[in-house]
Structure 1
């Protein structure tokens, strides 16, 4: 393995992808197995094991996921100011391992404390590995979008495996020959801890190839002063876990937090903008516009872990082309399967279009994302016309809806991560990436509210009536997504001016 490379040597790679991208790819892949495996179990665990009502489980899911993504802003801030990307990754991964081990030991009794460890750990891990990917490219390198698309395939390879295996084991639809019935949930959470250990070991063994990327921003300080700041951060992140546990288990506190964290982050960004040029600030305004629209996108997309989980449990049959599958496992993993199949291809298409000077700009790509999102939710709505008398409908058609939505995600998520690294000045890059994930937090939060409203409307209904209520709710989301996509395409010339030379 090549060591001690300069940033110039790393960024001057030949071919389509830098080799360091593959190291980050595999580290992120295993981390996403852990994260999406646990994410896919949340709703079902809360309704079947903690016996929560559907409405409460949707709100709890939204609150938990909102905290996960909100903490990425905090993790990005500490990476920028104290840890650097590498130590943030290691510390976050370690906390995630502890959280999933706690859940594996006794998921019912230790549910909220295990989830709280995972929330804080993800906050330190997630935004910083994405920022490291951005550092592998020069600012004007048009291969960046393709690189982020490949990285996103790694994210989804982990999400595919973990998203299906964990919930299928927990539901008793996989590996029943060696997983004891009374320990299904313990095993499922245990798998998340094992793969997180693999992720951390992968990063530790390959980080020397990263040159100076991700090192502490405090290397110029006296060693003793730096250690004090780092140890204080370690201790503070442990002490905040009981607070997170209380706030996650009581969704009203999440409401208060979400009312505050967004405005505070914007105020902080405005404070940082004082030291930037007018040109840099225009780019930051464009970044904020992308963040605001991404809130809407994720509020709809993240029905996957809430209302669509309920839809999968209650209203989907369990076969595709005669193959018996776990419907919730399909809901959790179908999107990831399609991303893996098409992410690299989409990246190559962007490169092909760029060479012919016909590649759509980032704003138009975002608009296309919403059009695909609208198409997918319209298909979810259309499943109601294939339902039987028991309210069960086609798992295959449902999966096709995810196929359509996948192209929307590929037009928004990897492109958005790439845009954040291009639009943000060097000194705030991790914070901007954290704000990008904070926008996802708001999306998760609103997803829980939307899902709870759908669940409340179908309360005390027959299974067939529930199907109709859920399907009609998805039709409304399709309409809203269509409107958002049209608005984005219409305002694309204005946003393009703010972005200046950034494509």
Structure 2
């Protein structure tokens, strides 16, 4: 393995993908197993083990996920200014391991403590590995979108395995003859800790191949000052865990935080923009437009962890193409399976269209993402017409809805990460990637509010009545997604001008 390559040499790779992308792919894959495994358990565990009401569990889920993604902004900021991508990723991984082990020991008693460690750890880990992927490519390299699509397949391979295994083990739908009944949730959370260790080992054993990518930004400061800044960050990130516990367990505090963090991040970006050229600032405005639309996308998409989790538990049959499967496991992992199957193909299609000079620009791709999202939620709505008197409907049709939404996600999420790295000046790249995930935090937050409204409307209803309430709610989301997609496509010429030379 070459360890002395410059960034220019790394970026001058031959073929479709740089070798370093594969190392980051596997590190991210195991981390996403851990993350999506726990994400898929949160709502169900809160309702069935912590005995929260559906409405409260939706709000709690939205708050938890909002904090996860909000901390990616903070993690990106500290990576840019103090740690660098690599050290930030390593520290975040350690915190996630600690959080997962805490949940493995006693998930009921230490639920919020373990979740809070994972929130802070994810904030340091997630934005920086994505930023390192962007550094593997020159700014004008049209292979970048294909690279991010492949990287996104790694995200979803981990999400597929973790998303199904963890919840199925916790519900005793999988390996019930191996895992004792009283330890099923301990084992489910335990899987998340083991694979997080694998993620960190993968990164530490391959990071030398990254050359100068992700090293500390404090190379020009004295060793003593560097040590003070780094240890202050270590200690501060531990001390903030009790605060996160309070904020996450009391969702009204999350409301106050979400009212503040978005405007603060934009003010910080405006401050940074004073030092950039007009051309650079136009690109940043385009990035903000993408972020605003992504909030809407994720507010709908992330019903998967909230209202769709309740829908899967209560209103879906348990067979797909005649194969018996856990409906919650399918809800957590079907999208990931389809991404794995089609992500590389979509990336190749973008490359082929680029060669033919017919590739749609990034804005139009975003708009198409919303149209697919609308189609998927319309299918979720349409499941009501296949329901029996017991309020249970077709898991096959539900899975087909996720099939359609997957193409929307592939038009938006990996392309969005790629766009953030292309539109942001180098010195704020991790912050911009953090703001991209902060937009996801708002999406998660609004997803919880939407799910809570649907749950409240169906409270004290029969299972069939509940199905109709949820389905009608998904019809409304389909209409709003359609409108957003059309608007985005209509304004694409304006946004394209702001993007200038960025494709």
Give the TM-score of the pair, scaled to structure 2. Answer: 1.00
Residue 379, structure 1, aligned to residue 402, structure 2: no
What is the distance in 1 between the residues matched to 2:443 and 2:334?
Answer: 20
Q: Which residue of 2 aligns with 1:316?
A: 316
Q: Which residue of 1 aligns with 2:306?
A: 306
What is the distance in 1 between the residues matched to 2:399 and 2:293?
Answer: 25
What is the distance in 1 between the residues matched to 2:205 and 2:406?
Answer: 32
CA shift for structure 1 position 177: 1.4
What is the distance in 1 between the residues matched to 2:163 and 2:40?
Answer: 6
CA shift for structure 1 position 220: 1.2
Q: Which residue of 1 aligns with 2:220?
A: 220
Secondary structure (helix, strand or coil) at the match of 1:501 reads coil
Residue by residue, what CA displacement relative to the aligned partner does 1:51-77 show, whole Å, maximum 9, x if unpaired? 000000000000000000000000000
Q: Which residue of 1 aligns with 2:58?
A: 58
For structure 1, list consecutive stretches of 5 or more residues without a partner in the other structure.
none
Alignment of 1:336-355 (within 5 A): 336-355=336-355
CA shift for structure 1 position 320: 1.2
Q: Which residue of 1 aligns with 2:190?
A: 190
CA shift for structure 1 position 189: 0.2
What is the distance in 2 between the residues matched to 1:256 and 1:392?
Answer: 38
Q: Which residue of 1 aligns with 2:261?
A: 261
Residue 131, structure 1, aligned to residue 159, structure 2: no
Q: Which residue of 1 aligns with 2:110?
A: 110
CA shift for structure 1 position 224: 1.2
Q: Which residue of 2 aligns with 1:285?
A: 285
Q: Which residue of 1 aligns with 2:453?
A: 453
What is the distance in 1 between the residues matched to 2:479 and 2:321?
Answer: 30
Residue by residue, what CA displacement relative to the aligned partner does 1:160-201 show, whole Å, maximum 9, x if unpaired? 000000000000010111100011000000000000000000
Alignment of 1:422-441 (within 5 A): 422-441=422-441
Q: Which runs of 4+ in 1 moved over 3 A?
A: none
Residue 502, structure 1, aligned to residue 497, structure 2: no
Root mean square deviation of aligned Cα: 0.3
Q: Which residue of 1 aligns with 2:179?
A: 179
What is the distance in 2 between the residues matched to 1:16 and 1:168?
Answer: 37
Residue 331, structure 1, aligned to residue 334, structure 2: no
What is the distance in 2 between the residues matched to 1:394 and 1:10?
Answer: 49
What is the distance in 1 between the residues matched to 2:384 and 2:395?
Answer: 12
Secondary structure (helix, strand or coil) at the match of 2:440 reads helix
What is the distance in 2 between the residues matched to 1:48 and 1:219?
Answer: 51
What is the distance in 2 between the residues matched to 1:255 and 1:427?
Answer: 31
What is the distance in 2 between the residues matched to 1:33 and 1:430?
Answer: 23
CA shift for structure 1 position 450: 0.1
Q: Which residue of 2 aligns with 1:80?
A: 80
Q: Which residue of 1 aligns with 2:150?
A: 150
CA shift for structure 1 position 206: 0.2
Residue by residue, what CA displacement relative to the aligned partner does 1:87-109 show, whole Å, maximum 9, x if unpaired? 00000000000000000000000
What is the distance in 2 between the residues matched to 1:242 and 1:468?
Answer: 41
Residue 272, structure 1, aligned to residue 272, structure 2: yes
What is the distance in 2 between the residues matched to 1:264 and 1:252?
Answer: 19
Q: Which residue of 1 aligns with 2:44?
A: 44
Residue by residue, what CA displacement relative to the aligned partner does 1:270-312 show, whole Å, maximum 9, x if unpaired? 0000000000000000000000000000000000000000000
Residue 468, structure 1, aligned to residue 473, structure 2: no
What is the distance in 2 between the residues matched to 1:211 and 1:3?
Answer: 6
Q: Which residue of 1 aligns with 2:477?
A: 477
The size of the alignment, in residue pairs, is 503
Q: Which residue of 2 aligns with 1:201?
A: 201
What is the distance in 2 between the residues matched to 1:379 and 1:223?
Answer: 59
Q: Which residue of 2 aligns with 1:32?
A: 32
Secondary structure (helix, strand or coil) at the match of 2:491 reads helix
What is the distance in 2 between the residues matched to 1:262 and 1:403?
Answer: 32
Residue by residue, what CA displacement relative to the aligned partner does 1:107-160 show, whole Å, maximum 9, x if unpaired? 000000000000000000000000000000000000000000000000000000
Residue 20, structure 1, aligned to residue 20, structure 2: yes
Q: Which deviates more, 272-281 or 216-225?
A: 216-225
What is the distance in 1 between the residues matched to 2:432 and 2:161?
Answer: 30
Residue by residue, what CA displacement relative to the aligned partner does 1:227-281 show, whole Å, maximum 9, x if unpaired? 1100000000000000000000000000000000000000000000000000000
What is the distance in 1 between the residues matched to 2:461 and 2:370?
Answer: 31
What is the distance in 1 between the residues matched to 2:321 and 2:42?
Answer: 28
Secondary structure (helix, strand or coil) at the match of 2:392 reads coil
Secondary structure (helix, strand or coil) at the match of 1:209 reads helix
For structure 2, list consecutive stretches of 5 or more residues without a partner in the other structure.
none
What is the distance in 2 between the residues matched to 1:183 and 1:472?
Answer: 38
Q: Which residue of 2 aligns with 1:390?
A: 390
What is the distance in 2 between the residues matched to 1:191 and 1:499?
Answer: 43
What is the distance in 1 between the residues matched to 2:183 and 2:256?
Answer: 37
What is the distance in 1 between the residues matched to 2:431 and 2:473?
Answer: 35
Secondary structure (helix, strand or coil) at the match of 2:175 reads coil
Q: Which residue of 1 aligns with 2:399?
A: 399
Residue 94, structure 1, aligned to residue 94, structure 2: yes
What is the distance in 1 between the residues matched to 2:410 and 2:321?
Answer: 27
What is the distance in 2 between the residues matched to 1:322 and 1:492?
Answer: 44
